[in-house]
Amino acid sequence: MHLLHAICRRLLDQKLAVASLLFAFITAIVSLRFLIIPNLQRLNLRVGASFYDYGFYGLYPSRRYVTFDYESPAVNFVQWDSQCSDAYTFIAPHGGVVEYSAPMILDSRGNLVWMKPLFDTPEDFRVQEYLGEKYLTYWHGGYSSGHGQGSWSLLDSSYSHRFEVKPVGNLDGDLHDFQITENGTALVTIYDVKPHDLTESGGAKHGYIYDSIFQEIDIATGSLNFEWRCSQHIPLNASYAGLKGRGWKREDPYDAYHINSIDKDPSGNYLISARHLHAILSIDGKTGEILWILGGKQNEFEDASEGRATNFAWQHDARWRSDDTITLLDNTAEWFFDPPTESRGLAIVIDIPNRVARVQGEYFHPGSIRTTSQGNMQDLPGSRNVFVGWGHCAAYTEFSPDGRVLCDAHFGPSTWFTLGNVVSYRSTKSSWVGKPNTNPAAVLIRSSVFVSWNGATEVVAWRIEQWDGVDMDDMHFEPLKVVKKEGFETKIDLPQGVAHVYFRIVALNGQNEILGMTGVMGEQLDWNFRDFVRSYSVGVFSSGVVISFVMIGCCLLQGVFWTWRVHRSRPLSRPGGYRAVPLGSVPE
Ligand SMILES: *[C@@H]1O[C@H](CO)[C@@H](O)[C@H](O)[C@H]1NC(C)=O
Ligand SMILES: *[C@@H]1O[C@H](CO)[C@@H](O)[C@H](O)[C@H]1NC(C)=O
């Protein structure tokens, strides 16, 4: 008691200690108030979510493969219905926790079909038709403050790179839209830094803005058909984006418009979405004149749905559904701390001559997602189902035409959606036939073989074929066994003995035709040390590890031997003590 008292007195005497305690306390309160609590609030914690959605399997649950070097998302279907389209899903996940950013194709149950990891960021991955042929299209490039600097790639059905499209002039291609028209042209978005007087918005006189531009480019010739600049047609005060101290430097321009989609109607006029204007604009395809504006501060339409047809905000992906109907993804908010709202897929019928807008359909996520950036809405051909990609939130949902949720898939845990660790700018569904010009990949492990073929959509079964053992220079193979293809990678258990002679695996389509085959495989039965070391070592490093283990083993053996020898040579009794004598002999 006395000792404790003494210690306390000494501590209290030291003013430094008191000051540090106080400082630690204040730091704890401040970080709780401004760091920990706000971030906990951002989590979408729900009672009764699955382990997946709480994040117990990680922030980006992934699948690994034996035959493929990369990981793909383990997609979690929260809801599934057989009425969902069996077309493929196209996403391009990336983000802080995604190791391999890649455009990727998944089947209707979320299994990987194809992926191509990129060094730069992929966006807007989907199937488009160019001059009657289907292509995979995606943007790739560098990313800065909500838009991109890059170009657009087109891959054909063999996944060969066929076209790279860049804007005309000394401009970078932006990630937001690359829409191919029926005439073989591409509609593309571009962000260009431009000097602008910002005094009316409360900014610099000699300031800078991001001008939002779109171009129509002929893909084959690279020539420019049309170009349109927001700054020449729309005043800055139509924007909802606050200046927030921007626009003083060239490196930090004011993004007043934020164009993010372009569509073209059969009469040749353009439809653009400008996120920061909360508006959809129709633009004359010849003169560039604005024909009408739906939504935002310059809205021209009367709202026949009590405000719900024109109150969309921070939206994406405005497309013509028919002559008089537009679909879009209404984000409703710009960032997490905006008042609570719910994002929706939205279909709006517009009467252009009379300037009247009416809601045709609304599509909400079953978990009331609010995605503060990115996202898209797609009418699925055939079924008339509606497909929504939730952009900033790693989820996609398929709805029946009347707005009922049929399928809902997550490719990241929903509790963490608002943090945007895993995003896919768009998610779409399309039919696709992929015939890669590679060979299937196979790996033999003991008596099982794993086989996959990145991007091959037509394979339904794998056939094991064994060498007939006659001529090694002109090998003939006999069919042994046919196994149904399962997901991305199929594990096949080989019949007894097959692993030790030559065999190969042949890919078969639905008509039993051969699409491709692996190289000849098989492992010798005779065991030898060199092969053993080789099979467990790759390169110098692993060989070093094996050698180290052998040396450690030798040292251990040596140690054991030494101990045994020392022990054996030690006299069993100390001099002057008791002495063991042979039984029967009596010491003198
Ligand atoms: C924007 O400024 C113009 C004048 O430059 C003015 O006529 C218009 O009313 C303003 N619009 C808004 C939404 O403040
Ligand atoms: C395609 O070209 C035709 C003929 O020039 C034109 O009438 C039509 O509007 C164009 N369509 C698109 C989507 O550009």
Which pLDDT band, with edges at 50, 70 and 90, does 336 fall under? confident
Q: What is the pLDDT of residue 44?
A: 77
Are the C-beta atoms of 122 and 94 separated by less than 8 Å? Answer: yes
Helix, strand and coil percent figures for the chain, each rounded to 5: 20, 35, 45
Whether residue 543 has pLDDT greater than 70: no
Q: What is the pLDDT of residue 35?
A: 80
* Percent of the chain scoring above 90 in pLDDT: 76
Q: Is the CB of 297 under 6 A from ligand 1?
A: yes
Q: What is the pLDDT of residue 137?
A: 98
Measured in residues, the chain has a length of 588
> What does the alpha-carbon distance between residue 575 and residue 588 come to, in Å, rounded to a whole number?
17
Indicate the range of 67-76, 493-502, 534-543 predicted with least confidence.
Answer: 534-543
Whether residue 588 has pLDDT greater than 80: no
Which secondary-structure segment (H or E) carries 150? strand 147-155
> What does the alpha-carbon distance between residue 253 and residue 239 come to, in Å, rounded to a whole number?
14
Indicate the range of 8-17, 98-107, 144-153 predicted with least confidence.
Answer: 8-17
Residue 237 C-alpha to ligand 1 middle, in angstroms? 6
Which pair of tokens denotes residue 529?
A: 């040390």
Q: What is the pLDDT of residue 541?
A: 57
Are the C-beta atoms of 154 and 135 separated by less than 8 Å? Answer: yes
Q: What is the pLDDT of residue 40?
A: 76
Q: What is the pLDDT of residue 2?
A: 73
Distances from the Cα of 531 to the Cα of 403, 450, 535, 548, angstroms: 61, 21, 6, 18
Q: What is the pLDDT of residue 253?
A: 96
DSSP-derived letter for residue 521 is B
Question: Which residues, in sequence order, are CB contacts of 425 under 8 Å at separation 6+?
Answer: 92, 123, 124, 175, 176, 374, 375, 376, 389, 391
For the CA of 181, the nearest atom of ligand 2: 13
Rounded mean pLDDT of 122-150?
Answer: 94
Which residues, listed in sequence order, are joined to residue 320 by a DSSP beta bridge? 326
Indicate the range of 150-164, 177-191, 473-487, 495-509 predicted with least confidence.
Answer: 495-509
Residue with tokens 């106080």: 22
Positive or negative CA dihedral for 19, 20, 23, 24?
negative
> What does the alpha-carbon distance between residue 318 and residue 179 come to, in Å, rounded to a whole number?
12
- For residue range 223-253, what is the model confidence (pLDDT) as tens digits? 999 999 999 999 999 999 999 999 999 999 9
For the CA of 238, the nearest atom of ligand 1: 13
Q: Which amino acid is at 246?
A: R
Q: Is the CB of 197 under 6 A from ligand 1?
A: no
Q: Is the CB of 240 under 6 A from ligand 1?
A: no
Indicate the range of 31-35, 147-151, 383-387, 561-565 predicted with least confidence.
Answer: 31-35
Which pair of tokens denotes residue 498?
A: 């097959």
> Among all ligands shown, which has an atom nearest to the Cα of 240?
1
> What does the alpha-carbon distance between residue 232 and residue 214 come to, in Å, rounded to a whole number?
12
Which pLDDT band, with edges at 50, 70 and 90, does 540 fall under? low
Whether residue 574 has pLDDT greater than 60: no
- For residue range 212-223, what is the model confidence (pLDDT) as tens digits? 999 999 999 999
Q: Which of 128, 180, 182, 271 is the best mutation target for the ligand 2 pocket, counting ligand atoms within 8 Å of the beta carbon and taking the most?
A: 182
Which pLDDT band, with edges at 50, 70 and 90, does 539 fall under? low
Which pair of tokens denotes residue 479?
A: 């069919």
Q: Which of 200, 201, 237 is the best mutation target for the ligand 1 pocket, counting ligand atoms within 8 Å of the beta carbon and taking the most?
A: 237
Residue nearest to atom 5 of ligand 2 (CA): 183
Indicate the range of 185-199, 320-334, 474-488, 535-549 predicted with least confidence.
Answer: 535-549
- For residue range 103-112, what is the model confidence (pLDDT) as tens digits? 999 999 999 9
pTM of the full predicted structure?
0.85
> What does the alpha-carbon distance between residue 229 and residue 231 come to, in Å, rounded to a whole number?
6
- For residue range 153-162, what is the model confidence (pLDDT) as tens digits? 999 999 999 9
More confident residue, 447 or 59: 59
- For residue range 446-481, what is the model confidence (pLDDT) as tens digits? 889 999 999 999 999 999 999 998 999 999 999 999
> Among all ligands shown, which has an atom nearest to the Cα of 225?
2
